[in-house]
C-alpha cells in the first residue's frame, strides 16, 4: 500500500520536475541498525539557516545564502513541507523558488497531511532516506511545527530513517534551513501549543502543553523562536527559557535569517534582525512573572554573534559607527505603552542606546475581559557598563549590545469613571 502511494506522489511531482534531480536507488542503512545519536558523533560540519517566517520569494539574500551554504549552483535541496496543511502545494512552490535561485530541489513526501501517503512508512523508507542523505541541504517549510516532529520521530521519540539522514547530511557539511515552524524545530525545546504572549507571561508554560521537544540541530544550549519582533514574541521566550534552564536564546524576525556556521558564529541577513537574550546572570523573583538582569541585544543585518564566546561584531557598514555617549540624539523620556507591538522593543532599545536618558520603560496591558485583567508588566531597559551601540551611515539602522532588562508585574487600576 505504501509503495503504491509513494509511486503516486512521485508521478505527480515528477510532472512538476521536483524529484528528477536525485536518484532514489542508493544503498540504505541496514535494517535494524541502531540509529546514530548526536551525542555519539562529532560536532556537525554543516550550517543552519534559521528564518523567522514569511520569507518572501524575492528575498534573494536569504534564498541565495541557503544555496551557497549547500555548495552553490546545482546544489540538491530536499524540501520538507511536513508542517504545512497542504504539503504538496507548498512543496511544489518551494521547489520552484529554489530552482529559480540555481538549486536542484526536490520534494520529500513525508508529511502528516499529504493525501494518499502513509507518512510513518515514508519516514522509514530506506530509498527516500538515502535520497535525503545524498542531498546537499534540506529546507523545512512553515506551518505547524508539531507536524514536523510527528512525521520524523517515532512514537517513542527515536528518529526515523529520514531524520537520521538529515542528521547525516548536517554532520557531513550540508545545510539545514527552516522557516517559521522550520525554525522552531532547530532547538531541543520548541513551543508546542502556546498561548498568546501576554497570557504566557501571566500563566507560564508547561511541558507537553506550551512546550514540546524540537529536533535540536542548534544544540542543547540555545533556545530558538521565530516571528519575533512582528508578534512581540521575545517576551514569551523568557518563561520558556527559565522553565527549561536555557541561558541563551536567539529570536529571529520575519523575512530575515540567522546563519549559524560550524564555529557557532551567527550572522543575521535579510529584512530585519534578531534578538539575543542572555540569562546567565538573571534573577527570578517570587510571585507573578518577575525577572531582573536579563541581558538583551539586537543584531541587525550583517551583524555577527558567537554562541560560545558571546562576542559581537557589527556589520561592515556600522564598523565606524560606534555611538558616542557624549553626543546623544534623543533627549526626552523614553516610554511605550505597548512593548509587545510590532518591532516596538527594537525601537525603544535603539532610542535608549542613543539617548541621554538612563532608562526606557515599556508596559503591556491586557483586555479587561481577558485572563487576569488586573495584571500587567513593566519592561525596564537600562544601559549597563558594557552596553554599546552602532549606527549605519547608510540606513541609520542601529545595532544594540548588552542592555539590561528587568520585567516586573504591575497592578492595573480600574477607570475612575464608568460610562452608562
Model confidence at 12: pLDDT above 70: no
Q: Report the relative pairing of strands 398-411 and 375-391 from DSSP bridges.
A: antiparallel
Q: Which three cell numbers stand for residue 339?
A: 512593548
pLDDT in tens, 211-256: 999 999 999 999 999 999 999 999 999 999 999 999 999 999 999 9
Report the pLDDT value the prediction gives residue 413, as an integer from 0 to 100: 78
Tally the residues of the chain: 420
pLDDT in tens, 348-375: 999 999 999 999 999 999 988 889 999 9
What backbone phi and psi angles, to 5 degrees, belong to 79? -100, 120
Q: How confident is the model at residue 42 (pLDDT cuts 50, 70, 90)?
A: confident
Q: Which three cell numbers stand for residue 358?
A: 538612563
Q: How confident is the model at residue 411 (pLDDT cuts 50, 70, 90)?
A: very high
Mean of pLDDT over the chain: 91
Report the pLDDT value the prediction gives residue 397, as an integer from 0 to 100: 94
367-373's contacts with Cβ under 8 Å and 24+ in sequence apart are: 370/198, 370/199, 371/199, 371/202, 371/203, 372/202, 372/203, 373/412
Residue tagged 513593566 (cell numbers): 378
Q: Which residue has the higher pLDDT, 276 or 21?
A: 276
Model confidence at 417: pLDDT above 90: no
Q: Is there a contact between 226 and 251 (Cβ–Cβ < 8 Å)?
A: yes
Domains detected in the chain? 18-24+46-310 (3.40.50.880), 313-411 (no CATH)
Amino acid at each position: 500500500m505504501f509503495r503504491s502511494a509513494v509511486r503516486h506522489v512521485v508521478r505527480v511531482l515528477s510532472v512538476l520536475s521536483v524529484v528528477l534531480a536525485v536518484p532514489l536507488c542508493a544503498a540504505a542503512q541496514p535494517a535494524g541498525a541502531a540509529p546514530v545519536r548526536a551525542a555519539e558523533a562529532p560536532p556537525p560540519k554543516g550550517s543552519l539557516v534559521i528564518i523567522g517566517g514569511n520569507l518572501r520569494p524575492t528575498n534573494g539574500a536569504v534564498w541565495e545564502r541557503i544555496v551557497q551554504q549547500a555548495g552553490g549552483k546545482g546544489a540538491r535541496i530536499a524540501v520538507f513541507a511536513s508542517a504545512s496543511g497542504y504539503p504538496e502545494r507548498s512543496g511544489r512552490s518551494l521547489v520552484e523558488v529554489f530552482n529559480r535561485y540555481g538549486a536542484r530541489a526536490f520534494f520529500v513526501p513525508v508529511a502528516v497531511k499529504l493525501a494518499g501517503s502513509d507518512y510513518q512508512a515514508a519516514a522509514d523508507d530506506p530509498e527516500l532516506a538515502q535520497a535525503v542523505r545524498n542531498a546537499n541541504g534540506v529546507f523545512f517549510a512553515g506551518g505547524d511545527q508539531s507536524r514536523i516532529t510527528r512525521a520524523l520521530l517515532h512514537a517513542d521519540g527515536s528518529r526515523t530513517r529520514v531524520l537520521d539522514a538529515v542528521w547525516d547530511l548536517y554532520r557531513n557539511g550540508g545545510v539545514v534551513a527552516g522557516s517559521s515552524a522550520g525554525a522552531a524545530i532547530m532547538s531541543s525545546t520548541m513551543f508546542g501549543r502556546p498561548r498568546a504572549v501576554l497570557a504566557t507571561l501571566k500563566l507560564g508554560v508547561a511541558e507537553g502543553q506550551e512546550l514540546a521537544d524540537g529536533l535540536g540541530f542548534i544544540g542543547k544550549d540555545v533556545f530558538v523562536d521565530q516571528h519575533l519582533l512582528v508578534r512581540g514574541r521575545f517576551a514569551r521566550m523568557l518563561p520558556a527559557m527559565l522553565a527549561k534552564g536555557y541561558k541563551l536564546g536567539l529570536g529571529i524576525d520575519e523575512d530575515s535569517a540567522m546563519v549559524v556556521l560550524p564555529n557557532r558564529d551567527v550572522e543575521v541577513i535579510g529584512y530585519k534582525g534578531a534578538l539575543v537574550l542572555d540569562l546567565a546572570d538573571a534573577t527570578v523573583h517570587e510571585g507573578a512573572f518577575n525577572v531582573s538582569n536579563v541581558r538583551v541585544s539586537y543584531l541587525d543585518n550583517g551583524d555577527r554573534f558567537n554562541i560560545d564566546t558571546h562576542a559581537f561584531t557589527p556589520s561592515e557598514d556600522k564598523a565606524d559607527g560606534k555611538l558616542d555617549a557624549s553626543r546623544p540624539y534623543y533627549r526626552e523620556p523614553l516610554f511605550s505603552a505597548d512593548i509587545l507591538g510590532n518591532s516596538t522593543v527594537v525601537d525603544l532599545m535603539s532610542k535608549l542606546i542613543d539617548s541621554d536618558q538612563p532608562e526606557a520603560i515599556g508596559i503591556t496591558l491586557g483586555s479587561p475581559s481577558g485572563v487576569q485583567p488586573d495584571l500587567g508588566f513593566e519592561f525596564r531597559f537600562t544601559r549597563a557598563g558594557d552596553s554599546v551601540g552602532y549606527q549605519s551611515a547608510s540606513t541609520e539602522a542601529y545595532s544594540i549590545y548588552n542592555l539590561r532588562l528587568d520585567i516586573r508585574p504591575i497592578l492595573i487600576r480600574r477607570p475612575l469613571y464608568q460610562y452608562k
